[in-house]
Chains A and B, each alone.
Chain A
Amino acid sequence: MFDDLNDLYQQVILDHCKRPRNFHELLQATCSAQGNNPLCGDNYKVFARVEGEVIQEMTFTGSGCCISKASGSLLTEFAKGKTRNELERMFEEVREMMTTGKVAEDVGKLAVFAGVHKYPARVKCAMLAWHAAKAALQGAGAEPVTTESEEI
C-alpha cells in the first residue's frame, strides 16, 4: 500500500531509525551541540571528538521521528575520519539533495535521503542532526540549533 513511500522510508532509513548507529553519549567529546525542533518535538544532541582537523568519532543521543533519527545515524557513520571541511561540504551537498532531489556523485550511502525532497515538510527532520553537527564543529554557543525556520 505504501509503495510511493519507499522513496522516503527506504530500507536503509528504516534500518537506521530502528537500530541507530553511534547512538550514545561520547565521554571524550571535544565538542557537542543540541538540535531541537520544539514544534515537532525532535530533539538530539550531537557529540564529536576532533583531533586537529579530523573528526575521529561522532555520536548522537535524543529522540524524534524515523527520518530525523536515521539521518543522525547515517551522519555519524559518514563523519568518522572526515575533516571539518569535508563534513561542511557534505552538509551543503546533502541539503541540496534533500531540497532538489539531485544526487551528487560522492554522497554515497547518504543518497537514500534524496527522496525527502518530495516531502518538503520532512526536510527539516532530515537536516536537524546535520545542523547540530555543524554547530558543534563551529563551537557554537549553548543555544540549541533548530530547522523549524525558513532557513534549512
Chain B
Amino acid sequence: MKPGQPPPWSELRKDFPILDQSVHGKPLIYFDNAATSQKPRAVIDALVRYYERDNANVHRGIHELSMRATTAFEAARARTARFINARSADEIVWTRGTSEAINLVANTWGAKHLQPGDVILLTEAEHHSNIVPWQLLAQKTGAKIAYIPVTGDEGTLDLFTLDSLLTSQVKLLSLVHISNSMGVVNPVADLCARARQRGIVTLVDGAQSAGHKPVDVQAMGCDFFAFSGHKICGPTGIGVLYGRQEILDQLPPYQGGGEMILTVGYDKTEFKPAPHRFEAGTPDISGPIGLQAAMDYLDAIGRENIWQHDQELAHYAYEQLAALKDIRLFGPKTGRAGLVSFLLKDVHAHDVVTLADQGGVALRGGHHCTQPLMHKLGVESTARASFYFYNTREEVDRFVEVVREIQRFFAQ
C-alpha cells in the first residue's frame, strides 16, 4: 500500500480465496459481512503456520514449542491493545466472541455491583446478545432494565429522552456502537461522557465497528468494549473484552479452572490478576494468532480507508434502492455504516433472500437478532445487505439489478 493513495481495492479482493467462486452459476457477491466476514490468505496462513510449526499449550510449558505458542498468544494480546488503543495488554481479556464478553461483564461486574432496584440502561436497537445477559442478570439481582428509544425506521436514538432516563438508579449503560440491523452509528463517546459524569459504568458493543472504523477506547471513554474476531477477518471462536484496568482488577473470576490461578489448596484458591483471572482452562490459542494476522492486515489497509469505502458503498446502495418503487428502507439517510436493511412491498424477506441467493447474492433475511426492535417497527423481518472493503460498486449494481428482478418475479 502506498502512503497517501487509496488502497488498491480490486487487488485486495484477490487476498480472499473464497470470493473467487460461483454459486448457482453466478459469481458470488458476498453481502453478509455483518454476520461474518471472509478471511484473507494472511489469516488462513497464520493459522496453518501455527498448527504446522508452533502448536503447544500455553503458559505452563518450558519446552520450545510451548514458549513459542505462549509468546505468540501474548503478543496477540498486546497487538489487540494497540488495535483499540487500550493502555495495556492487561486490559484485554480473550473470550469466544462479543456475546461471551458481555456475559462475562454481566456475571462478574453485574453480579458484584447490582442491587435490587438498580437500573441497567440499554437501547431499543440492541442485538439479543446485549439484552439477554442483562435480563438474566436482572432476574438474579432484582435490577431493572430500561431502554433509550429509537426513532422509527431511521433507527437513530431519541436522545431527548436521555436526561430523564439517566436517573440515579442507573448503574450501567450498555449500548451498541453500530447497530447490525439499521446501520446507525451511535455517538458513543458523547454518551459515555454523560454516563461517566453520573458515575455510570459503560459498555460498548463493538461487534460491527471494530473492524470497520478506527476505534480508540480511551477517546471513547468507555469502561468496557466488546468485539468478535470473525467479523473483522479473523477466525470464529475468538473475541475480545476490553476492560479499564481499575475495574477489571476489582472483579471476581468468571469461570474457575486451570490457567486462572496462582495457588490452589483443598480449601482456598488464589487467583491470577486480570486478564488471566478471567481465562480458565486451555484457551483458544490459534484464535488470537489468527486475529493478530487479521488486525495487521486491516491496519495495513487503514481502517479510515475501510470506513470510507464501507460508507460510500452503503450510501450508493441506499440511493439506488431508494429509487425503486415499493421498497421500505431502514436506517439513517446519511452517515450510515456499511449496511442497508430493506423490505419489498408484499414480498417476505425470506423470499427475497432465497431469490437473491439464486442470483449469486448472499444476503441475510430475518430479525437479525433484534426481535424487540423489529416488533417496535411493526415488521417480522428485513432483508439486509452488509458490505466490507472487498465489495465493489459493480457488485452493488448487480445486487440492485437482482432486487429489481425479484420485484418483477413477484409481480408476474
Interface residues of A (CB under 8 A from B): 1-2, 4-5, 8-9, 14, 18, 38-43, 63-67, 119, 122, 125
Contact = CB atoms under 8 A, between A and B. Distances in A.
B410 A14 contact: yes
Interface stretch (B35-43, B226-234, B268-276, B349-357): B349-357
Nearest to A68: B348
Contacts of A42: 380
B132 interface: no
Given A39-B366, A63-B380, A65-B351, A1 B346 contact: no
Contacts of A4: 24, 358
Nearest to A1: B405
Contacts of A8: 354
Contacts, number: 53
B347 interface: yes
A66 B366 contact: no
Interface string B356-389: 0011000000110001001000001100000000
| A-B pairs with lowest CB-CB distance, top 3 | A41-B380, A65-B348, A65-B350
A14 B358 contact: no
A40 B354 contact: no
A22 B358 CA distance: 31
29 contacts: A1-B358, A1-B359, A2-B358, A2-B359, A2-B405, A4-B24, A5-B354, A8-B354, A9-B351, A9-B409, A14-B410, A14-B412, A40-B350, A40-B366, A40-B380, A41-B366, A41-B374, A41-B380, A42-B380, A43-B380, A64-B348, A65-B348, A65-B350, A66-B347, A66-B348, A66-B351, A119-B354, A122-B354, A125-B350
Given A9-B355, A66-B410, 15 more contacts: A1-B359, A1-B402, A2-B359, A5-B355, A5-B358, A9-B409, A14-B412, A18-B410, A39-B367, A41-B374, A64-B348, A64-B380, A65-B350, A65-B351, A122-B354
B85 to A, nearest CB: 38
Contacts of B405: 1-2
A8 B347 CA distance: 15
B354 A18 contact: no
A112 to B, nearest CB: 16
Given A9-B409, A41-B381, A67 B359 contact: no
A64 B354 CA distance: 14
A14 B405 CA distance: 15
A38 B350 CA distance: 13
Given A2-B358, A5-B358, A18-B346, A67 B381 contact: no
A64 B349 CA distance: 9
A134 B358 CA distance: 33
Nearest to B352: A65
